[in-house]
Amino acid sequence: MCQGRRVKILSTAVSGALCLFLSAIANGQDSSSPATAGGVFAEPFVHVHASALGTPVVHSFNVEPALTGRDLFLSYRYRRGDGIREHEVETELEWAFTRRLGVIFEIPYIFERGDGGEWSDGFGDLAVVPRAMLVERERFMLTAQLEVVAPTGSGGFGGETALAPGVAAWLDLGNWWTLNSQFAIEHIFDEDANEFVFGLGLVKSIGSHGQDCDHEDHEHAGFSGGGLHFHAELTGTVGLSGEESGVAEIEGLVGVSYGIGEGVDVRLGYEFPLTSPRAFDGGVVAGLVVHF
């Protein structure tokens, strides 16, 4: 059996397993949840600032969160390398329908300038990511998701169609250290290629221990919101089939974010390549997160 076919079967198996797992949980009864018609997936949305133990739940820069939320991300990214200076403005909307079911929409707009001074710009590809939280515990959360990339890119930016079934997880390491992680297998239809996608985001939070929140649609027991958060991230892809088979592209990020109360976060980070040949030399990312 050829490698490409094995990877396609693996991708299908992962997607099928996630669907079966989700179906089993949806049809089961969680003893800690109300016996509603839709089970735990019909519970009303609650914006989470912290776990049941009071540990802050913080969004990483480049790793999708395990929790569902209602948040608007506005990000600016600057990168240089290979004779090009790139400016990217991305809008991302996370919208939770219930406590465990939600969707993410992402679309970037890109400006590039070559060494000769010529400019080009255009929209990148639209990504739509339906997601379902499968497990929610005091120190652990696990979410299944399916990223669908549509070829909306213009001016040579994007233009790919892809599917990426995967999972995202959140782990409380203790003492307000947390780990965000995500893993997926992406199939790129235009290139008939597959790649393994991963992300790890370590967060150290510093802030005040507050009282339990009394808002019906918010939870942050033991954490008053806001605070200072330090980030270290590792993200990348490994080609599984196609022209990039066996090729790894890995990036690092160090950054800081600060919560201005419950409603707004600001953040700033520095990105750098960890593998050769380098896709870029270095870059800066800054952003604003608005919580609804």
Per residue in 193-237, pLDDT (tens digit) is 999 999 999 999 997 655 444 444 455 444 555 789 999 999 999
Q: Is 190 helix (H, G, I), strand (E, B) or coil?
A: coil
Look at residues 267, 243, 248 and name the one whose alpha carbon lies nearest to residue 256. 267
Q: Is the residue at 263 inside a domain?
A: yes
Q: Is the residue at 60 inside a domain?
A: yes
- Report the Cα–Cα distance between both ends of the chain, in Å, rounded: 50
pTM: 0.82
Q: Is the residue at 72 inside a domain?
A: yes
Question: What's the angle, vertex CA 292, arms to CA 175 and CA 122, rounded to 5?
Answer: 100
Per-residue pLDDT at 117: 77
pLDDT over 90 percentage in the chain: 61
Residue 235 CB neighbours (<10 A): 21
Residue with tokens 């696990």: 142
Q: Is the residue at 90 inside a domain?
A: yes
pLDDT reading at 280 higher than 60: yes
Q: Is the residue at 19 inside a domain?
A: no
Q: Is the residue at 21 inside a domain?
A: no
Where does 175-247 show beta strands of DSSP type E?
A: 177-188, 193-206, 218-219, 227-241
CATH of the domain at 54: 2.40.160.40
Number of compact structural domains in the chain: 1
Q: Is the residue at 167 inside a domain?
A: yes
Q: Is the residue at 31 inside a domain?
A: no
According to the 3-state scheme, what is the secondary structure of 221-286?
CCCCCCEEEEEEEEEEEEEEECCCCCCEEEEEEEEEEEEECCCEEEEEEEEEECCCCCCCCEEEEE
Q: Which domain holds residue 64?
A: 43-291
Q: For residue 152, what is the DSSP state?
A: -
Per-residue pLDDT at 223: 52
Rounded to an integer, what distance in angstroms lies between the CA atom of residue 289 and that of residue 292? 10
Q: For residue 45, what is the DSSP state?
A: P
What tens digit of pLDDT does each residue of 8-54 get? 444 444 444 444 444 444 444 343 443 344 578 889 998 888 888 99
C-alpha 81 chain-centroid distance: 25
pLDDT reading at 171 higher than 90: yes
Look at residues 222, 231, 285, 221 and name the one whose alpha carbon lies nearest to residue 257. 231
What tens digit of pLDDT does each residue of 65-94 get? 898 999 999 999 999 988 889 999 999 999
pLDDT over 70 percentage in the chain: 80
